[in-house]
Chain A
Amino acid sequence: MKVRINPDKCIACTTCVVNCPVSRVTTKYLGPRMIGPAYQRFRLLALAEDESLTYCSNCKNCEITCPQDVPVAGINMLARADQSKKYGTSLRDWVLAHGELQAKALQLIPASLKNFGMLNPVTRSILDAFGIDKRAPLPAFAPKTFRQLLKNYKQPSLRKKIVFFPGCFIDVYDPLTGIDMVWAFNKAGYEVVSPDDFSCCGLPMIANGFWEDAIKRARNNLKALADCREQGMIAVTGCPSCALMFREEIPEYFPDLIDELGLGLLEDAQDFLLQMADKGELDIKNLPEQPDLNILYHAPCHLRAQGNGLPGLDLMNELDGVSARAANAGCCGISGSYGFKKEKYEIGMEIGSELFQKIKESKAAISASECGTCRVQMTHGGGKPAIHPVTVLRARMEGKPPRTAYNP
């Protein structure tokens, strides 16, 4: 690994400690300052790793709040990659990091069977023994992936094309949200393409220590994005974690790939639609008569980390009759696959407890967030459906109540 992060930028101010959702709920984690920049000095001296490194959830709140721009979670992920290289990885972590491959392998099996196979109590007990907590809200496979659905979806033939990077969650578990996205872009005058070449963004692999696998995905995706750029197409995503991976993680961890294939960026789809609305190319002003809609919005940590404000929230509030309020309750506790793990499930639930309470107490019957696994956790802990902001957009434009089930 060529990437070296200088830990000495840290001035030990403890701002990250104050804002770390994990160290707030457990003393099993040394904390971001200690395990990140402080411990890095020991790593540079080749001292043994501290076992609490695995407790970092890579939620990035340390980096969001650090006044000195120290990539604290980045230091942790590099250290984790190093550990995996030296001592190997667990099968459980492989499974959680490679949802994309499992979905591909299981492609020919009908979703009902797959879900019966994966989600029945017997399998859940086996998975539990294997390290995936049986209480964790594992999402169900959709009957067809997003890209399978897209092939049969009749889009109007439009001159302008846009590239949509679905991300694994939408592709495998929540394809109808992807279709909502396609519908909205069509209304804005864009035909949507979503190349089969796209693979998982690789962030789950980074978080679980599968460095080589992440590089492979990054290379593959950057190539596909370079092709899109050559054709003059902009690429967007509805998933903040995928966007973060392309904008910040790949350039930080794999600068050689950027030198070779160029910077491949995914724009925030919600931001893009908001701009279209601003320019009048997406008409969100003449909506059908319909009852008012209250929404509690949760800002994903990986969105907050990108310094782009909360365009999904702004977009919903541009819609007449919609009142969306930010929950401001910090991390939901799921952090991709973190909250599914047996030894982390309760930590994740405790982290999310403030958000769950706000969801329960809110007068809004529906909550919203861009991040797929945040939504799963919000529904699990808050007991109310959680949907994507673009699903809200489509519902209001069509004058229907928003779809609240993943695969009705």
Chain B
Amino acid sequence: MSRKTDVLVIGSGAAGLTAAYAAAKKGARVKLVCDGMGCLAISGGSIDLLGYDREGNRLANPYDGFAALSPEHPYSIAGAEKTKEALKEFGAALKSKGYELKAGADAGGAPQNTLVPTIMGTLKPTYLYDAAQSPEALVSAKKVLVTSVKGFRECRSRLVIDQLRRYPELENIDFKEKVLPAPFPEYGRSLTALDLAHFADTTRGLEWMREHLRGLGENYDLVLLPPIIGAKASSPVRKEAEEIMKAPFAEMLSLPPGVQGIRLRSALIGLLEDMDVEFYENSQAGNAKIENGICVELESASTNRRVIHKPGTIVAATGGIISGGVSLKQGLVEEAVFGLPIAAPRDVEEWSSKDIFGEHLFSRMGVKTDNNFRPVNNSGEVLINNVFFAGGTLGGYDYAREKSGHGTAIATGWIAGCLAAEEALNNARNQAGAN
């Protein structure tokens, strides 16, 4: 059966979900095809906008770095104004689901990156984060309590403190540690932050938190915790955590599963649920039928099944190399769904550099687009007029190095979703008019 829809979104990571919501909010009927579910849920959940410039200097105001970005960078295509608008709309939507984000700002109210600690004791500049938390208090704090939980092996408070002390801006802080008792006996596996966060959402968990976090922050300017304060978009315990502890708190960003990403994702899924966005899970998009520069049909394939979709427009948010949105063959790079060629040197050796944390060409490999995020060839001609790209499939940026993860996805996802909806609805109106 062929299934019609206004907008078909491919991918269920931060970019795909954001695009689906933006398009549905414009009034389009949206379906979403996904193979796996993207890395939003396993991420730390904070939204990085732009943490570093190309030379590796930390940016105080993320938008200050926009002007120096290359013309292919998604932010250069989106522009600072549209990026701001996208983040604002995104934040307002999440707030309606009980998940409030706040943006860092300096004393004068200008946008500012905030340094958020991780459970490895490193600092990461980020822009939007859970409004219930106060990581911004870290740099001006005098006394900070670093906590962990017994049996949760990935977070060692002593290690965190030793590592954080190496940062010059934190060297005058008096760090103390506190290991909370394990809330339940360990059975076969060691505890993860996710176990503890799920536990915090139960009645028993809430009682445990109230008992063991009570007054924890007295005499401290900030309490750092692993991400264990609930796994839901609006966990009751997160709202009262500061009051229980008697001090502002911040969760340290964790290795996957990062918990905060689950909260963000569940808020987004809740939004899509309200809009009746239908999911085609466990299926891979491909076999596009292109007529006169328009994708008229697209398949989603799963084991021994092919479904043909007839969407008005498409948002492709299939991610980068690991997610399968960009496929690598010997000396050849291609966008995976439509088979669009991506420029790359024939010699594979040139794709990466010797410095593992350095700049790698492969990180920037991705689809080249016009100003409306539609794919173009090397001479800038649009290849498929009704396909809009968003997130990790786009070329020209390295989110890990510049710390722009989720920020690029949300900005481009929002813009692509809006464009796709507008065009699909316009075409439908024109067609109805012509009939």
Residue positions of A touching B, CB distance < 8 A: 11, 13-15, 17-19, 24-31, 34, 50-52, 63-69, 247-248, 251-252, 263, 265, 271, 274-275, 278, 304-310, 313-314, 325-326, 328
Contact = CB atoms under 8 A, between A and B. Distances in A.
A307 B42 contact: no
Contacts of A34: 189
8 contacts: A13-B256, A17-B194, A18-B194, A251-B304, A304-B279, A325-B276, A326-B278, A328-B273
Contacts of A30: 188-189
B423 interface: no
Interface residues of B, number: 43
A308 B36 contact: no
Contacts of B194: 17-18, 24
A17 B39 CA distance: 12
A380 B435 CA distance: 51
B262 A18 contact: yes
Most A-side CB within 10 Å, residue of B31, B187, B324:
B187
Nearest to A70: B36
Given A13-B39, A18-B262, A66-B36, A307 B302 contact: yes
Interface in B163-200: 184, 186-189, 191-192, 194-195, 198
Given A67-B324, A248-B303, A307-B281, 18 more contacts: A14-B42, A15-B39, A15-B42, A19-B41, A24-B198, A27-B188, A64-B281, A65-B36, A67-B39, A248-B304, A251-B303, A252-B303, A304-B279, A307-B282, A307-B301, A307-B305, A309-B3, A326-B273
Contact of A313 (B278, B302, B303): B278
Contacts of B402: none
Interface string B265-294: 000010001001011111110000000000
B381 to A, nearest CB: 32
Contacts of B303: 247-248, 251-252, 306-307
Contacts of B283: 307-308
Nearest to A247: B304
Contact of B35 (A26, A67, A306): A67
A247 to B, nearest CB: 5
Given A305-B281, A307-B281, A307-B283, A14 B188 contact: no
B192 A275 contact: no
B307 interface: yes
Contacts, number: 120
Q: Which 3 A-B pairs have the closest CB atoms?
A: A307-B302, A307-B283, A67-B36
B327 interface: no
B1 A67 contact: no
B188 A310 contact: no
Contacts of A27: 184, 186-189, 191, 195
Most B-side CB within 10 Å, residue of A11, A17, A278, A314:
A17
B281 A304 contact: yes
Most B-side CB within 10 Å, residue of A27, A306, A307:
A307
B300 interface: yes
B38 interface: yes
A247 B305 contact: yes
Given A27-B189, A30-B188, A306 B282 contact: yes
A6 B11 CA distance: 25
A30 B195 CA distance: 12
B361 interface: no
Contact of A50 (B3, B188, B195, B301): B188
B65 interface: no
B323 interface: yes
Contacts of B195: 27
Nearest to B190: A27
B257 interface: yes
A98 B280 CA distance: 32
B276 A326 contact: yes
Most A-side CB within 10 Å, residue of B187, B282, B305, B307:
B282
Contact of B257 (A14, A29, A326): A14
A66 B257 CA distance: 14
Interface string B239-281: 0000000000000000011000010000001000100101111
A226 to B, nearest CB: 16
Contacts of A11: 322
B305 A309 contact: no
A179 to B, nearest CB: 25
Given A27-B184, A68-B36, A308 B280 contact: yes
B37 interface: yes
Interface in B182-240: 184, 186-189, 191-192, 194-195, 198
A313 B280 CA distance: 13
Interface string B396-429: 0000000000000000000000000000000000
A305 B41 contact: no
A359 B173 CA distance: 51
Contact of A13 (B42, B273, B304, B324): B42
Contacts of A305: 281-282
B305 A306 contact: yes
Interface string B18-57: 0000000000000100011111011000000000000000
A15 to B, nearest CB: 6
A313 B31 CA distance: 13
Interface string B76-117: 000000000000000000000000000000000000000000
Given A14-B256, A30-B188, A263 B307 contact: no
Nearest to B302: A307
B282 A64 contact: yes
A247 B283 CA distance: 14
Contacts of B281: 64-65, 304-305, 307
Most B-side CB within 10 Å, residue of A15, A18, A31:
A18
Interface in B315-341: 322-324
B407 to A, nearest CB: 21
B8 to A, nearest CB: 11
B276 to A, nearest CB: 7
Given A63-B282, A247-B305, A328-B273, A15 B37 contact: yes
A67 B282 contact: no
Contacts of A67: 35-39, 322-324
B273 A309 contact: no
A265 B304 contact: yes
A310 B301 CA distance: 15
A146 to B, nearest CB: 26
A309 B324 contact: no
A4 to B, nearest CB: 18
Contacts of A66: 36
A252 B278 CA distance: 28
Contacts of B188: 27-30, 50-52
